[in-house]
């Protein structure tokens, strides 16, 4: 009950913020299927978990770095919303928790790179956790490509437990999320070469979707530039 209320309130606040300060658009190539599923995206900024939550009105469990759970108030919200902390270098407990949630019928979201993407706009190599989870739980992967304008990234230093952590936040500017068709995996989760190959395939699909978001954003910007020109031409 509390989780549902917190999740709904969080989504409303995030939607309000993106409407006031960001040009966020979600492009759907296919609707989300019913039942448990694994939403898998790239990770260009620390803003991504907030944006991902807008994909579904139903509560989802997002795998988020355990450091975020130590931040006052925000950490309380993450815990009570039942998101899943990922401890750097010790991801097994998070994997097991995510697997249990999927088998229990929930939707789980994670970032396949396992870290923030390079600041130059590239991508980190994929981790295999997403594919192993999908195969183990027998759920589809929903690939999501996130595109932002890199020049608008802001590095903000967060002080947690006496340590300073530089974080890449995307607080203002256009953002595109492209949701692809579900990917249904088959094969043995213990076949490491197969799991690695499928992880590369899923990563490439996410990269393609992120590039599609970039193309859509460029086309939108071009249309906005052309409208004033058309008005001037009509006036003449």
What CATH number corresponds to the domain at position 174?
Answer: 3.40.1130.10
**pLDDT per residue as tens digits for the range 54-113:** 999 889 999 998 988 888 788 888 888 899 999 888 889 999 999 999 999 999 999 999
Query: Is 8's pLDDT higher than 80?
Result: yes
Contact, 40 vs 109, CB < 8 A?
yes
Q: What is the mean pLDDT of the chain?
A: 90
HSE at residue 94, side-chain half, CA atoms within 13 A, is 22
Find, among 234, 190, 211, 224, the residue nearest to 42 by Cα: 211
- pTM for the model: 0.90
**pLDDT per residue as tens digits for the range 202-213:** 999 999 999 999
How many independent structural domains does the chain possess? 1
Give the C-alpha distances (Å, rounded to integers) separating 166 from 32, 57, 114, 226.
Answer: 34, 31, 17, 39
Give the DSSP H/E element, type plus range, for residue 142.
Answer: strand 141-148
Find, among 15, 24, 12, 8, the residue nearest to 170 by Cα: 24
62 three-class SS: strand
């Amino acid at each position: 009950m509390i989780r549902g209320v917190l999740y709904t309130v969080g989504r409303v606040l995030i939607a309000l913020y993106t409407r006031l300060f960001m040009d966020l658009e979600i492009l759907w190539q296919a609707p989300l299927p019913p039942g448990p599923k694994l939403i898998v995206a790239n990770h260009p900024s620390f803003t991504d978990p907030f944006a991902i939550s807008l994909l579904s009105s139903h509560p989802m469990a997002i795998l988020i770095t355990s450091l975020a759970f130590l931040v006052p108030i925000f950490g309380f919200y993450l815990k009570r919303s039942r998101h899943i902390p990922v401890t750097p270098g010790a991801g097994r407990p998070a994997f097991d928790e995510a697997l249990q949630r999927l088998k229990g019928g929930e939707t789980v979201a994670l970032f396949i790179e396992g870290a923030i993407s390079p600041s130059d706009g590239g991508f980190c190599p994929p981790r295999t956790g997403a594919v192993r989870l999908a195969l183990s739980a027998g759920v589809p992967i929903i690939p999501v490509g996130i595109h932002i304008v890199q020049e608008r990234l802001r590095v903000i230093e967060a002080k947690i437990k006496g340590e300073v952590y530089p974080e890449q936040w995307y607080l203002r500017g256009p953002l595109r999320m492209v949701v692809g068709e579900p990917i249904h995996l088959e094969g043995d989760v213990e076949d490491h070469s197969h799991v690695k190959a499928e992880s590369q395939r899923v990563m490439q699909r996410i990269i393609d979707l992120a590039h599609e978001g970039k193309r859509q954003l460029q086309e939108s910007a071009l249309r906005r530039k052309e409208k004033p020109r058309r008005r001037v031409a009509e006036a003449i």
